[in-house]
Structure 1
């Protein structure tokens, strides 16, 4: 049996603000509400289901997105246009920089609920492979 991640719930201060931020930066669409969730589906079919909760219950999570070089450029331009601070590392100690791990490019930034979002053009340890366009 093959196992595929189908969806994950992203706890948010405001589901609409977080879903629209993430979708907008990544160049995706926010789907219609599904009960208490606002879905954003990525290319491999995984859905991020944004749910509004008490901010005290949110523990920051990490969501990494493998993108092509062209998608990285487009996402990076949207980050800059929106004035979103970006970092080369997950500790957020290298501001206004990207990393070059495994021969690709990567950057971290925070969503409105404090989750760590990451864009990378090479899978860690993968070196050669580009994300599919």
Structure 2
């Protein structure tokens, strides 16, 4: 029997949460709705206001009224952008660089544990 060290546990990527119909289009740095191909350019998500605007836009769509659509979007955005940690920590709005968003998306996509949410 082997034991897993703390370093191994801390460095093991967590599988993504339930993104519902959303998938990551790595080549275009976008979240895409699998049902209608609606796309959100993650490079436009550099402020908390921009992220909230996307959430509100989707909530206003007829197909966005499905709870799995909106909840999946929020989970996906948070897992990709860590928006509380990087955009609105302690209630203060901050601005990220497009390059930091690209780096986070690339790092997320590189993890084999995340392949279930990568668009094919």
With normalisation by structure 2, the TM-score equals: 0.25
* Structure richer in helix, relative to its length: 2
- Relative contact order (C-alpha < 8 Å, sep 6+): which is higher? 2
* Structure richer in strand, relative to its length: 1
With normalisation by structure 1, the TM-score equals: 0.23
